[in-house]
């Protein structure tokens, strides 16, 4: 497949990197340095120029493209690119935007602006945060099959009832499959005798209710206090959207914003959120407002450094878990290493979302569990699939090692996959796949 | 000297003149009645002639007044209009009292009384200084003029002017804002003249509906007293929340069916007319989501329940104790009548127990909804004030909290909140100071209690109508000395225009740059 990516910033580069191996990728950017660097880093074709101009797009041979991804940092440019592409090509267009108003317009009338698929960075980020809030112990949660299946990653901490058990012992949940145990960089496919130790991360796939029950079981005794008490620091767009999504789910979050005008604006738009106007790095203020009693704190300030500071401060005051927005992807690991529970990079989230659209058509949904280590795929089974009409035990024998069938939905109903479950054409299969098995699995499923 | 004046007063006066000139048109209705009944022509005809000449003369003051109409001219025009129509509208009373033999006993032949009665009419207050409410002393034509002043004043004489005078369409929103009850106006349509017409259309529609209903009961034999004359007369004063009745006993003169029937119309009159517009356009959600409307119904419900309980249980001269239907009926009627500031009486509530009367006095301060024909402080202001107070309590604990005050999903501007506080404070200051003056001036030959003085000022400032005791529903404001009456004329005037359009004229800053 031929994919044209316009905008070689972090999002564009990240998408290019993950697609370069299996597709023909063309990257367009106005910045000659970036273009040059990409040429050497990845096996992609680069074109220098303004992606919103027809000439540049022609130079990138856009008429032959299957997918065009507009991922510059400017919303309007991205929309203009998609509109321009439509005049010269039948390619599927994907636009990345930050302003949620465009997303709402697009949802209202799909295909508007010449955009076939739109991703909103801030909304995606907020959604990731909210999913994590919903499962107090999860590090990552992704919905599949229209929300009927969830994939979640948990960290097994010291004192968790799961620590020291084997998968078989831990497997007492209906409609839940253990996919993998991740130890350091090592992804181990879960077998009955796989041991779960403190410090490991566990990936499970199952019905949302079961995942919730599992989430509760992972927590050490007495550790599951009120997640209801959520504090958001920073009234950025992500902070605002997080507040909105949380209040839509019945939470009454508190949001701290320093700028009086922005604080007032947020207080007006977020009717169910208590907005506090103050500097969130003021420890005395945090103490006075009993922020330490919060179950979760989301740091969504404009600067990574301040987000780190606030998160650590909150931890010291006693906040159970902290989620920090990190703009610089290089900091993600660092943040988690020094004590921030979850670090989220909006561009990474966006790249992930766009990547799943550029996979083979049959792939409905993709979640990247650990970048470069494992993915979770959702596939609709057709007649050519290796799974069609066979039991899972038989089929898996033909597949490479690193794959687990985590869940099946049939006509919208959840089916727990067991060895003798026979997969039918039309079923949606959610599978955990280790990176090394990815190509083989996508080819046969 | 005029060089430093920043107000084009000639433009304002000219427009006022135009409204006065047009006032002769509604005066044709009592004129027709005078011809029909063969009585009252001497009162109406010269008044029409004078109104026309005065109006026409004032109109000449400016060649293009609409073009010169700014915010300041608007205030002056609105305030002057209400004053001047009351002066001109008083002429029929004075003429009938002085020019006819039957009117010689009329208390309204005195200019102060006539002015009081007309101001009470146009402002839909319903307080009266008539000594004898009967067709012996007054012609049916004059009595209908008295009813008609209320109907004209209800939806607003300026709103009517905006609706029918095309040259007022530009500054119309400003004029309507100065006149309309409640903070701010809601434009229902892109064009202000159309909004004004829509408001008047709904107003006329409801009035007609009530008249038809009332006369219908008469035809069915369920309301022998409700003749066509009475049906029209009461239709004319229910919808504007006026309260005048050509019957000396007010609504007590009619059957229970009529009393029950009038209650929903009073409640409708105290409702924001914009809601009827939405109902008309089948947009019912706006009504369910309207917090003022819900509070309004809630206030009427709670006060009615309390009053019913008091009437039902407390022995008094009222003969309501232990009789459920009359207790409920009179409580509902009286509370609806006072909260909406209609001022009708279904019985002499002077005979009620003291507690029930306190409830009524309290109800005078609630007022109708914004954008209704009701007077008083208005529900919306109380809602905002209570919500702001709750915010103050919250921010006392969380000083950094930013809490906008919301009505449903709309955020109220902080400036608007300040305006609401300023208005309410000013209202209460005028009320307190006015009560003191009325109490000090007193009533010759009679004992005026503080409670009575309080209720008299509350009734005129809030455009309610009757008070308790000396100014009770079956009594009148007649015994007050001239000074107090003039003061109450002022109260009615500022009460109807919600203080600011009048008071701003008294400031230095208004007249100079």
Domains of chain A, each with CATH number or no CATH: 2-115 (3.40.50.720), 146-221 (3.30.70.1450), 225-349 (3.40.50.720), 352-443 (3.30.70.1450)
- CB within 8 Å: A275 and B409: no
Tell me if B34 sits within 8 A of B135, measured CB to CB. Answer: no
Residue of B nearest to A271 (CA): B409
| Phi, psi for residue B446 in degrees, rounded to 5 | -135, 155
> Is pLDDT above 50 for B278?
yes
Q: Which residues of B touch A274 (CB under 8 A)?
A: 398, 401, 403
Across chain B, mean pLDDT equals 91
User: Are the CB atoms for A242 and A256 separated by under 8 Å?
Assistant: no
Closest approach of A312 to chain B, Cα-based (Å): 22
- Give the residue from chain A lying closest to B412, CA to CA: A268
The strand pairing partners of A2, in sequence order, are A24
ipTM associated with this complex: 0.75
pLDDT of residue A365: 64
d(CA B511, CA B513): 7
> Do A274 and B398 make contact, defined as CB atoms within 8 angstroms?
yes
Residue tagged 């927005």 (tokens): A325
In B365-413, alpha helices (H) = 379-397
Mean pLDDT over B488-508 rounds to: 92
Would you tell me which residues 88-117 of chain B have a C-beta closer than 8 angstroms to some C-beta of chain A?
none
User: Three-state SS for B36?
Assistant: helix
Residues A267, B402: C-beta atoms closer than 8 Å: yes
The C-alpha atoms of residue B159 and residue B194 are separated, in whole angstroms, by: 11
CB < 8 Å to B398, chain A: 274, 276, 289
CA-nearest of B460, B264, B268 to B372 is: B268
Kindly list the residues from chain B whose CB atom is less than 8 angstroms away from the CB atom of residue A275: 401-403
Handedness of CA B168, B173, B179, B180 (dihedral sign): positive
Probe site for chain A from B391, B397, B401, B417 (most A CB atoms < 10 A): B401
Name which of A232, A244, A289, A290 to mutate to probe chain B: the one with the most chain B Cβ atoms within 10 A of its Cβ.
A289
CA distance A248 to chain B (A): 15
E-strand ranges in B152-262 read none
B316: closest CA of chain A, how far (Å)? 50
**Alpha-carbon gap, residue B491 to B82, rounded angstroms:** 13
Chain B's closest residue to A255, CA to CA, is B401
pLDDT above 60 for B3: no
Q: Specify the pairing of strand A2-6 against strand A67-70.
A: parallel
Strand partners, A415: A408
Q: Which of B400, B405, B414, B415 to mutate to test the interface with A (most CBs of A within 10 A)?
A: B400
pLDDT digits (tens, 9 = 90+) for B33-90: 999 999 999 999 999 999 999 999 999 998 888 888 888 888 899 999 999 999 999 9
Q: Report the pLDDT value the prediction gives residue A366, as an integer from 0 to 100.
A: 67
| Residue A148 DSSP SS3 | coil
Chain A nearest-CA residue for B399: A276
Report the distance separating Cα A206 and Cα A375, nearest Å.
Answer: 16
Residue (of B65, B62, B61, B35) closest to B48 by Cα position? B35
Residue with tokens 């044209």: A4
CA distance B400 to chain A (A): 5
Q: Do B400 and A285 touch (CB under 8 A)?
A: yes
The answer to whether residues B458 and B361 touch, using CB atoms and an 8 Å cutoff, is yes
Q: Are B170 and B215 in contact (CB under 8 A)?
A: no
Residues of B in contact with A285 (CB under 8 A): 400
**Cα gap A194→A186, rounded to integer Å:** 13
Low-confidence residues in chain A, pLDDT < 50: 223-225, 361-362
Contact list, B408 vs chain A (CB under 8 Å): none
Contact B401 A275 (CB under 8 A): yes
Note the pLDDT of residue A443.
76
| A276/chain B closest Cα distance in angstroms | 4
DSSP single-letter state for residue B444: T
- Chain B partners of A289 at a C-beta cutoff of 8 Å? 398, 400
- Higher pLDDT: A389 or B389? It is B389
Distance from CA of B275 to the nearest CA of A (A): 24
Which chain A positions have a beta carbon within 8 Å of B400's beta carbon? 256, 276-278, 285, 289
**Which chain B residues are within 8 Å of A256, Cβ to Cβ?**
400
* Inter-chain touch A277–B409, beta carbons under 8 Å: no
What is residue B2's predicted lDDT score, i.e. its pLDDT? Answer: 45
Q: How confident is the model at residue B318 (pLDDT cuts 50, 70, 90)?
A: low
Nearest CB neighbour to B400, from listed A264, A271, A276: A276
Report chain A's mean pLDDT, rounded to a whole number: 86
**Chain A neighbors of B404, CB-CB under 8 A:** 264, 267-268
Which of B398, B404, B409 lies nearest to residue A267, judging by beta carbons? Answer: B404
Give the β-pairing of A230-233 and A296-299: parallel
Chain B residues touching residue A263 (CB < 8 angstroms): 402
Q: Are A103 and A127 in contact (CB under 8 A)?
A: no
Helix axes B111-122, B71-89, angle to 10 degrees: 130
From chain B residues 384-413, the ones with a CB under 8 A of any chain A CB are: 398, 400-404, 406, 409, 411
What residues of A are in the B interface, CB distance below 8 Å? 256, 260, 263-264, 266-268, 271, 274-278, 285, 289
Name which of A141, A145, A87 is nearest A429 in CA terms: A145
CA distance B387 to chain A (A): 14
Phi, psi at A159, each rounded to 5° = 90, -5
Question: With an 8 Å Cβ cutoff, is B6 touching chain A?
Answer: no
Q: Please say if the pLDDT value at position B91 is more than 90.
A: yes
Please report, for residues B28, B120, B139, B462, the alpha-carbon distance to residue B43 in angstroms, rounded to integers and kept in the order given. Answer: 12, 19, 9, 30
pLDDT in tens, B195-221: 899 999 999 999 999 999 999 999 999
DSSP E strands in A88-200: the ranges are 92-97, 117-120, 138-144, 149-155, 176-183, 186-189
User: Exposure pattern of A426-441 as b/e (b: 16+ CB <10 Å)?
Assistant: ebbbbbbbbbebbeeb
Q: Quick one: DSSP state of residue B477?
A: S
Nearest to B406 among A266, A271, A285 (CB): A271
Query: Taking CB atoms and an 8 Å cutoff, what residues of chain B touch A271?
Result: 406, 409
Which pLDDT score, from 0 to 100, does residue A70 have? 95
**B153, two tokens:** 């004043």
Smallest CA–CA distance from A269 into chain B, residue: B411
Q: Give the pLDDT score at B295.
A: 95
Question: Which residue of chain B comes nearest to A289, CA vs CA?
Answer: B398
- Closest residue of B to A276, CA-based? B401
Give A120 to chain B, closest Cα distance, Å: 26
- Option in B400, B401, B404 nearest A268 (CB): B404
How confident is the model at residue A411, as a pLDDT? 84
In the A/B pair of chains, how many CB contacts fall below 8 A?
30
Query: How many other CB atoms sit within 10 Å of the CB of residue B220?
Result: 9
Tens-digit pLDDT profile for residues B390-441: 999 999 999 999 999 988 888 898 998 999 999 999 999 999 999 999 999 9
CB under 8 Å to A230, separation ≥6 — which residues?
A133, A246, A251, A253, A254, A294, A295, A296, A297, A298
Q: Which residues of A touch B402 (CB under 8 A)?
A: 260, 263-264, 266-267, 275-277
Judged by CB atoms closer than 8 Å, whether chains meet at A276 and B411 is answered as no
């Amino acid at each position: 497949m031929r994919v044209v990516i316009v905008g070689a910033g972090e999002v564009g580069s990240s998408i290019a990197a993950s697609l370069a191996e299996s597709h023909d990728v063309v990257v367009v950017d106005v910045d000659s340095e970036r273009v040059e660097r990409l040429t050497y880093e990845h096996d992609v074709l680069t074109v220098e120029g303004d992606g919103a101009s027809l000439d540049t797009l022609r130079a990138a041979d856009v008429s032959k493209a299957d997918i065009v991804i507009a991922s510059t940092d400017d919303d309007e440019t991205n929309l203009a690119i998609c509109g321009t592409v439509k005049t010269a090509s039948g390619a599927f267009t994907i636009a990345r935007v930050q302003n949620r108003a465009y997303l709402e317009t697009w949802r209202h009338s799909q295909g508007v602006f010449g955009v076939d698929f739109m991703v909103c960075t801030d909304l995606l980020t907020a959604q990731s945060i909210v999913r994590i809030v919903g499962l107090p112990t999860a590090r990552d949660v992704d919905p599949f099959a229209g929300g009927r299946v969830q994939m979640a990653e948990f960290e097994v901490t010291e004192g968790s009832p799961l620590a020291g058990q084997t998968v078989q012992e831990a497997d007492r949940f209906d409609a839940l499959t253990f996919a993998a145990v991740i130890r350091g960089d090592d992804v181990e496919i879960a077998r009955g005798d796989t041991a779960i130790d403190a410090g490991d991360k566990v990936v499970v796939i199952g019905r949302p209710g079961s995942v919730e029950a599992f989430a509760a079981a992972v927590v050490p005794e007495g550790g599951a206090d009120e997640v209801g008490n959520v504090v958001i620091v920073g009234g950025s767009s992500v902070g605002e959207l997080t507040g909105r999504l949380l209040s839509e789910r019945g939470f009454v979050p508190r949001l701290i914003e320093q700028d009086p005008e922005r604080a007032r604006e947020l207080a007006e738009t977020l009717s169910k959120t208590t907005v506090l106007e103050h500097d969130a790095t003021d420890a005395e203020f945090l103490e006075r407002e009993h922020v330490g009693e919060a179950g979760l704190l989301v740091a969504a300030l404009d600067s990574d450094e301040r987000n780190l500071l606030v998160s650590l401060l909150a931890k010291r005051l006693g906040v159970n878990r902290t989620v920090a927005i990190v703009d610089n992807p290089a900091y993600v690991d660092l943040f988690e290493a020094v004590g921030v529970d979850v670090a989220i990079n909006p561009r990474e989230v966006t790249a992930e979302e766009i990547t799943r659209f550029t996979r083979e058509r049959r792939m409905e949904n993709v979640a990247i569990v650990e970048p470069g280590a494992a993915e979770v795929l959702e596939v609709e089974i057709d007649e050519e699939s290796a799974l069609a009409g066979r039991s899972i035990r038989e089929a898996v024998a033909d597949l490479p090692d690193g794959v687990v069938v985590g869940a099946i939905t049939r006509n919208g109903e959840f089916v727990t996959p067991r060895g003798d479950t026979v997969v039918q054409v039309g079923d949606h299969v959610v599978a955990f796949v280790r990176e090394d098995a990815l190509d083989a699995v996508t080819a046969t499923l | 000297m005029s060089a430093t004046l920043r107000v084009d007063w000639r433009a304002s006066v000219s427009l006022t003149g135009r409204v006065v000139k047009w006032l002769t048109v509604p005066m044709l209705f009592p004129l027709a009645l005078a011809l029909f009944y063969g009585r009252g022509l001497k009162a109406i005809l010269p008044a029409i002639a004078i109104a026309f000449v005065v109006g026409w003369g004032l109109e000449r003051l400016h060649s293009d007044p609409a073009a010169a109409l700014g915010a300041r001219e608007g205030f002056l025009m609105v305030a002057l209009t209400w004053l001047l129509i009351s002066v001109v509208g008083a002429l029929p009373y004075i003429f009938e009292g002085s020019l006819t033999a039957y009117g010689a006993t009329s208390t309204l032949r005195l200019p102060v009384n006539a002015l009081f009665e007309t101001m009470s009419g146009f402002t839909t207050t319903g307080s009266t200084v008539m000594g004898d409410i009967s067709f012996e002393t007054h012609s049916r034509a004059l009595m209908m003029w008295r009813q008609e002043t209320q109907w004209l004043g209800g939806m607003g004489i300026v709103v009517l002017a905006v609706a029918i005078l095309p040259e007022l369409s530009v500054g119309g929103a400003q004029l309507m804002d100065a006149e309309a009850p409640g903070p701010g106006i809601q434009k229902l349509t892109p064009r202000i003249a159309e909004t004004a017409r829509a408001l008047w259309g709904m107003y006329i529609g409801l009035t007609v509906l009530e008249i038809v209903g009332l006369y219908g009961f008469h035809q069915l034999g369920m309301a022998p007293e409700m003749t066509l004359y009475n049906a029209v007369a009461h239709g004319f004063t229910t919808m504007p929340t006026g309260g005048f009745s050509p019957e000396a006993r007010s609504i007590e003169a009619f059957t229970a069916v009529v009393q029950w029937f009038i209650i929903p119309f009073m409640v409708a009159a105290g409702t924001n007319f914009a809601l009827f517009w939405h109902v008309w356009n089948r947009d019912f959600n706006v009504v369910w989501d309207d917090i003022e409307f819900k509070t309004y119904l809630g206030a009427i419900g709670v006060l009615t329940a309390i009053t019913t309980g008091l009437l039902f249980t407390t022995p008094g001269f009222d003969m309501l104790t232990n009789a459920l239907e009359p207790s409920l009926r009179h409580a509902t009627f009286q509370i609806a009548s006072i909260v909406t500031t209609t001022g009708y009486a279904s019985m002499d509530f002077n005979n009620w127990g003291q507690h029930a009367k306190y409830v009524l006095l309290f109800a005078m301060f609630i007022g109708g909804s914004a954008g209704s024909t009701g007077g008083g402080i208005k529900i919306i202001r109380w809602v905002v004030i209570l919500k702001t107070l709750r915010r103050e309590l919250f921010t006392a604990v969380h000083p950094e909290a930013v809490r906008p005050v919301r009505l449903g999903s709309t955020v109220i501007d902080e400036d608007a909140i300040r305006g609401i506080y300023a208005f309410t404070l000013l209202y209460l200051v005028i009320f307190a100071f006015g009560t003191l003056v009325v109490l000090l001036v007193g009533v010759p030959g009679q004992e005026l209690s503080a409670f009575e003085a309080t209720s008299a000022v509350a009734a005129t400032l809030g455009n309610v109508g009757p008070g308790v005791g000396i100014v009770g529903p079956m009594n009148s404001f007649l015994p007050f000395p001239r000074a107090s009456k003039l003061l109450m004329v002022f109260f009615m005037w500022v009460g109807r225009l919600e203080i600011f359009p009048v008071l701003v004229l008294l400031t230095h800053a208004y007249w100079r740059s």
